Amino acid sequence: MPRQDKGGQGEDWREQNRAMWDATLPGHLKSPVYDVEAFRAGALSLQKHEVEDLGDVRGRSLVHLQCHFGLDTLSWARLGAQVTGLDFSGAAMAAARALAAETGLEARFVTADVYDAPSALGETYDIVYTGVGALPWLPDMDRWARVVRDLLKPGGELYLFEFHPVEWMLDEAGDGTRLRYSYFTPPEGFREGGAVTYAGGHESESDASSVQWNHPLGEVVTALIHAGLTIMELRELDRNILESWESMVKTEDGLYAMPPGKPSLPFMYVLRAKC
Ligand SMILES: C[S@@+](CC[C@H](N)C(=O)[O-])C[C@H]1O[C@@H](n2cnc3c(N)ncnc32)[C@H](O)[C@@H]1O
């Protein structure tokens, strides 16, 4: 089926995905993967390398695209950034505002589609931060890259920390060394994916369908270059934030790697680009 509109208008993917994310939220608020209790007690949900990479964010303006219920956004606020989070799930934005109020952290949370972010937010930022399961929900990388550009101040930076498209191809069963899914996505997206389960099961079948796109690294990089950004760094990681297979071993930075004797694989990547 040809994609009628790369931006996705006139297609059902947006409503389907939003319903799935709204329904997933209550489980995620209780999930040990997110560990809201630790955050309430003062912990950061960010990875060590993210904090080290971006350095001192005090006083810098940061927008977090697809921020879910704002845990990472509020972690940047805890480090002193002036933060804005955006997500198309109104339920997630309400939960994020409640968490900000409860923890006394200042933040603005806006309910909007990523593709409408520049008009919905009406301002530009020093840092656009995004990732960890964000890009697979978007059909069009060219349009996303233009949104990122339009949100950045001159000299501002995109910090993207995302699952590697190769990680997507691996069979959930077994030990993570078997390929199951395609690297390239059909135009209509992958529709057999169902609900996300990385942070707990899904209770209702009716809202469990979703549409996703695996975006090859070349597609992401090329979209950003075409939008006028300068790529500063593309770092592939042999570690995963999730313990996706039982045989994985925990590393000193708290991430998970393949065990000795198994081939290493690119599980995640960091991409930094400047406007
Ligand atoms: C896996 S979360 C990623 C957020 C964050 N990295 C995390 O792990 O909490 C994906 C988020 O993308 C949001 N999302 C998906 N498609 C979107 C769109 N078109 N516009 C805005 N938000 C979207 C969902 O509501 C969900 O909160």
Examine residue 1 and state whether it is found in any structural domain, yes or no.
no
pLDDT tens-digit profile of 11-50?
A: 689 999 999 999 999 999 999 989 999 999 999 999 999 9
* Residues 21 and 92 sit within 8 Å (Cβ to Cβ): yes
- The number of folded domains in the chain is 1
9 band by pLDDT with thresholds 50, 70 and 90: very low
**Coil vs helix vs strand at 112:** coil
Examine residue 4 and state whether it is found in any structural domain, yes or no.
no
**Structure-token pair, residue 253:** 């930075």
User: Per DSSP, what are the bridge partners of residue 163?
Assistant: 268
Distance in Å, CA 260 to ligand 1 centroid: 34
> Which of these, 55, 174, 64, lies nearest to 112 by C-alpha position?
64
Distance in Å, CA 199 to ligand 1 centroid: 14
Give the start-end residues of each E strand in 49-188: 61-65, 82-87, 107-111, 125-131, 152-163
DSSP secondary structure letter of residue 69: T
Distance CA 173, CA 7 (A): 33
Nearest atom in ligand 1 to the alpha carbon of residue 114 is: 20
Return the percentage of the chain with pLDDT > 70, whole number. Answer: 90
If one residue of 62, 87, 135 were mutated to test the ligand 1 pocket, choosing by the most ligand atoms within 8 A of its CB, it would be 87
Examine residue 204 and state whether it is found in any structural domain, yes or no.
yes
C-alpha distance across the termini of the chain, in Å: 36
**Average pLDDT along the chain:** 91
pLDDT over 90 (residue 53): yes
pLDDT tens-digit profile of 188-236?
A: 888 765 566 665 544 444 457 889 999 999 999 999 999 999 999 999 9
Examine residue 255 and state whether it is found in any structural domain, yes or no.
yes
Examine residue 5 and state whether it is found in any structural domain, yes or no.
no
Q: What is the mean pLDDT of residues 160-169?
A: 96
With tokens 């550009």, the residue in question is 149
CATH number at residue 135: 3.40.50.150
Distance in Å, CA 112 to ligand 1 centroid: 11
Distance in Å, CA 171 to ligand 1 centroid: 23
Q: What is the mean pLDDT of residues 77-98?
A: 98
Examine residue 2 and state whether it is found in any structural domain, yes or no.
no
Examine residue 136 and state whether it is found in any structural domain, yes or no.
yes
- Phi (first) and psi of residue 226, to 5 degrees: -65, -30
**Structure-token pair, residue 180:** 């199951």
Return the residue whose CA atom lies nearest to atom 14 of ligand 1. 66
Examine residue 174 and state whether it is found in any structural domain, yes or no.
yes
Q: With a 6 A CB cut-off, is 113 part of the ligand 1 pocket?
A: yes
Q: With a 6 A CB cut-off, is 21 part of the ligand 1 pocket?
A: yes
Distance in Å, CA 250 to ligand 1 centroid: 26
Q: Which domain range does residue 187 map to?
A: 12-274
With tokens 């399961």, the residue in question is 133
